[in-house]
């Protein structure tokens, strides 16, 4: 009986039952982090947005060189502090969790008012690489946007 119980536990451990539950929890956490990022972007909270990145995280946009590290990301975002984000939507179309990393694909759409009062809309694809720190919190390793043409 004892050997049978040990065998059952070994089979269950190998089946990934616990891992699937953890993956669902991590999936929900990554989704929540994306929504939090979207809320911070709507408020143009540069410090809050930068804090969502891993210490060596990067922000990538095809029209400029990548921005590396929290301090540089915060400074970059602060450069747009005179812009008013009127609406922002970040929607994940795919979120894949693999241990302490995740890949998220999705879309974004923003309505923005420039400092001169000009209104414009931007939209496109986004790709986010996430990393989980030892405390279980997810941080952005890389966020790349690809504006629609």
pLDDT at 20: 56
DSSP-assigned letter for residue 79: T
Residue 49 is encoded by which pair of tokens?
């947005």
pTM for this entry: 0.84
Closest to 130 (Cα-Cα) out of 6, 27, 3:
27
Task: Give the burial class of 60: count Cβ atoms within 10 A of its Cβ; 0-12 exposed, 13-18 middle, 19 or more buried.
Answer: middle
Measure the CA–CA gap between 37 and 59, rounded to whole angstroms: 13
Q: Could you state, in order of their start, the residue ranges of all structural domains in the chain? A: 17-147
pLDDT at 32: 96
pLDDT by residue, tens only, the chain of 149 residues? 444 433 333 333 444 444 455 789 999 999 999 999 999 999 999 999 999 999 999 999 888 899 999 999 999 999 999 999 999 999 999 999 999 999 999 999 999 999 999 999 999 999 999 999 999 999 999 999 999 97
Q: How is domain 17-147 classified at the CATH fold level?
A: Nuclear Transport Factor 2; Chain: A, (3.10.450)
* 112-120 long-range Cβ contacts below 8 angstroms, 24+ apart: 112/83, 112/84, 112/85, 112/86, 113/83, 113/84, 113/86, 114/82, 114/83, 115/82, 115/83, 119/86
pLDDT at 21: 58
């Amino acid at each position: 009986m004892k050997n049978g119980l040990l065998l059952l536990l070994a089979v269950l451990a190998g089946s990934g039952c616990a891992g699937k539950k953890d993956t669902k929890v991590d999936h929900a956490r990554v989704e929540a982090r994306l929504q939090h990022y979207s809320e911070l972007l709507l408020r143009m909270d540069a410090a809050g947005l930068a804090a969502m990145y891993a210490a060596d995280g990067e922000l990538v946009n095809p029209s400029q060189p990548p921005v590396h590290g929290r301090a540089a990301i915060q400074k970059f975002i602060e450069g747009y502090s005179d812009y008013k984000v009127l609406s922002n939507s970040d929607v994940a179309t795919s979120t894949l969790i693999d241990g302490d990393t995740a890949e998220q694909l999705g879309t974004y759409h923003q309505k923005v008012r420039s400092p001169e009062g000009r209104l414009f809309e931007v939209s496109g694809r986004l790709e986010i690489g996430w990393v989980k720190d030892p405390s279980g919190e997810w941080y952005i390793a890389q966020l790349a946007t690809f504006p629609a043409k």
